[in-house]
Amino acid sequence: MKTLVCAACLFTATAALTPAQPEPATTQNGTWRARLQDTWSRKDGERWISFQLDQDSDRRYGMSIAFSELEGLGARDDRWSASNVGFTVRRDAGTLQFQGSFDNGRGSGTYRFTANPEYVSAMRQRDGTLEADDLLRLAIHDVSRSFISSIEAQGYRSTGLDDLVRMRIHGVDADYIGGLRQAGYDRLSIEDLVKTRIHGATPQYVQDMKAAGFAGLTVDDLIKTRIHGATPRFIQDVRAAGFDKLDIDDLVQMRIHGVSAAFLKELRSLGYNDLDVDDLVRMRIHGVTPEFIRELKELGYSGLKGERLVQFRIHGVDADFIRDAKAAGYKDLTPEDLVDMSIHGRRWLRKRG
């Protein structure tokens, strides 16, 4: 459900308590660059483009803008060329007016930012000190008064400008916060809100994990599963392969080391039905593949336990090693013999002789 707010009433309660502050610069100038080839479409099909705004060598900003916001430009071909181009972007914090040209889709020129006096007054009442660079950043990332009011209505009343910008950049809005609250995650820190958004631990993902049997996970666990791919789909595949009593740490460990559902199914087809997660991880780390097991079986070494297979790999006992030993006249070697032979080499041969 969307949160309805009154942007015009924003911050008035603190106005009488705020000491006088110097006015920030209401206009700023700089240069811009963009490439019409550097565009993308979001899920709703709307086309976006990236601009780089420079004031000097130390103050550079990236700005993503929907073409629908570029008043006077409109949708253009990727190789469009034109001179004396002018277009405008209007935000609550102020207006950016662009002048320049495009050559084969590459645009550049100058811009002028003019702050919105009503916005400046409201933000100074809220935050006290407000620098010119703050105003430009707030405009670039469209941190509007309605956005701030909606965030405050969710209980985040002391959110600083840097955090508001971060939330706007990463799509942490009132609906997102409300969705997490309904999913059981209330009063998360700004840091956690941003991290869940960056890594895709969304309210829908929380519901999907609950449906997979993992309710009440910590934020760190949710993020961990997303980073490493221990997703509901992976959980379903692992269960289908016969492993249905695993916790989150087990699932994450399996994903980190490449213990896939296909790997599990192949091992089961070879008779390995009782391996635990630690066994599986060690086998993957040391390269105990189904193919390795099949080659050993063809040479007469079947039914080896997982720890013996890992020992073989660690000490270089593979199919070629066994064939070489047999070619040298060493028949009927036990697994222990093969490991000793690999470790001790000539000393073992002399002992056997």
HSE, side-chain direction, 13 A CA sphere, residue 213: 12
Over the stretch 195-214, which tens digit does the pLDDT of each residue have?
999 999 999 999 999 999 99
Over the stretch 316-349, which tens digit does the pLDDT of each residue have?
999 999 999 989 888 889 999 999 999 987 455 5
Under the banding of pLDDT at 50, 70 and 90, the label for residue 25 is low
- Per the CB < 8 A criterion, the answer to whether 340 and 325 are in contact is no
Residues 353 and 85: their CA atoms lie apart, in Å, by 91
Under the banding of pLDDT at 50, 70 and 90, the label for residue 286 is very high
Kindly state the average pLDDT of the residues 59-77.
88
- Per the CB < 8 A criterion, the answer to whether 52 and 60 are in contact is yes
What pLDDT score was predicted for residue 344?
85
- pLDDT of residue 147 exceeding 60, the answer is yes
- pLDDT of residue 23 exceeding 70, the answer is no
HEC per residue, 250-277: HHHHHHHCCCCHHHHHHHHHCCCCCCCH
Residues 14 and 111: their CA atoms lie apart, in Å, by 34
What pLDDT score was predicted for residue 57?
72
Burial class from Cβ neighbours inside 10 Å (0-12, 13-18, 19+) for residue 220 reads exposed
Could you give the angle at the alpha carbon of 265 between the alpha carbons of 259 and 269, nearest 5°? Answer: 130
The structure's pTM equals: 0.81
- pLDDT of residue 22 exceeding 60, the answer is no
HEC per residue, 31-86: EEEEEEEEEEECCCCCEEEEEEEEEECCEEEEEEEEHHHCECCCCCCCCCCEEEEE
Mean pLDDT of the chain: 89
Residue % of the chain over a pLDDT of 70:
91
What one-character DSSP code corresponds to residue 24? P
At a CB cut-off of 8 Å and minimum separation 6, what does 122 contact?
A: 10, 11, 145
What pLDDT score was predicted for residue 348?
53
Give the residue carrying structure tokens 């028949």.
Answer: 331
